[in-house]
Amino acid sequence: MVMDRIFSGIQPTGTPHLGNYLGAIQNWVNLQEQCSSVLYSIMDMHSLTMPKEPAALRQNILDTTAAILACGIDPKKCFLFRQSLVPEHAELAWILGCLTNVPRLLRLPQWKMKDASQNNEGTVGLLTYPVLQAADILLYKSTHVPVGEDQVLHLELAQDIAQHFNKKYGEFFPVPKAILSTTKKIKSLRDPTVKMSKSDPQKLATVNIADSPDEIVLKFRKAVTDFTSEVTYDPASRPGVSNLVSIHAAVTGLSIKEVLHQSTGLDTAHYKMVVAESVIQKFAPIRNEIKKLQEDKSHLIKVLEDGAEKAKELAAPIYQEIRRLVGFQ
């Protein structure tokens, strides 16, 4: 696959969890080695679609930055920046919003789910943030976007918006292609029918990459499985133990088949501790690096500001041409 430019982003929710790492950040680290033009953004503007305290948001931005740096993201190999430091994101979102119809946004599952969670009083920002996502991608003429299953529809919207713009103003934007994660979606440890989430009210449901070994052991010990003691992989009928197998495979780099072979003869209670130990070993150096980086706030701020300057330099000529095309100049 020829990848001219990759763009992806992460919302600043603080230290990422196991699902964020395996589903996105681990892939980011690999992609920065494979492509010469890679942009990764801390999506602070998107985070305002759900209520946030300003002080908490500021801290979350720094904690998320520390975590992804600790995971192996290298600012020398990519542009790592804070979305709101590049105002062209919001300006392009307005232009693209004027090419997007409301019924299309209302049909998106994320809107329906999050609007319902806010007693059907979802904000304009919540409704239109997929248009801002399209602007995030198209502002840099990105050709490829790493996405999880739950973001495929949003990327399809960005593709349609790019094609609509090109039809109206002439060929300008490349239509971005998806890079789908090969990692199985990581599920909640307390309810393996839903994905692992930072906002899960059950604290034992989500493993954060900065959790202590004792916390990780406790969460896996309490992980919901079933009454069959054998370790097998069957997500439809045994979602709990299958989720453990997926996690074990992802953190060790082994295949599902190899993990199952290694686990022959183990019951699920013992297997939980095997998975916990694999996660502890994977995250021990990352957790130590996070702590070190969090102690140097000025370094984290500088990384994001330097990345934003580079992103602005890339975006400026593209956005000036957009302004010309739509008639602003």
Instruction: Render pLDDT for 239-277 as a digit per residue (tens, 0 to 9).
Output: 999 999 999 999 999 999 999 999 999 999 999 999 999
Contacts for 295-299: CB closer than 8 Å, 24+ residues apart: 297/62
Is 272 assigned a catalytic role?
no
pLDDT computed for residue 104 by the predictor: 93
For the purposes of burial, counting CB atoms within 10 Å of the CB of 177, is it exposed (0-12), middle (13-18) or buried (19 or more)?
A: middle
Rg of the chain taking only CA atoms, in angstroms: 21
Q: Out of 52, 177, 185, 198, pick the active-site residue.
A: 198
Amino acid at 291: K
Average pLDDT over residues 170-190: 92
Q: Out of 114, 177, 185, 310, pick the active-site residue.
A: 114
Q: Out of 52, 77, 195, 310, pick the active-site residue.
A: 195
Is 77 assigned a catalytic role?
no
- How many residues appear in the chain? 329
Count how many Cα atoms sit within 13 Å of the Cα of residue 180 in the half-sphere of its side chain.
8
Domains and CATH numbers, the chain: 6-185+299-326 (3.40.50.620), 213-291 (1.10.240.10)
pLDDT computed for residue 178 by the predictor: 94
Mean predicted lDDT score pLDDT of the chain: 94
- pLDDT of residue 1 exceeding 60, the answer is no
Do the Cβ atoms of 25 and 63 come closer than 8 Å?
no
pLDDT computed for residue 185 by the predictor: 86
For the sheet containing 6-10, what is the strand order? 79-82, 38-42, 6-10, 144-147, 177-180
Beta bridge partners of 10: 42
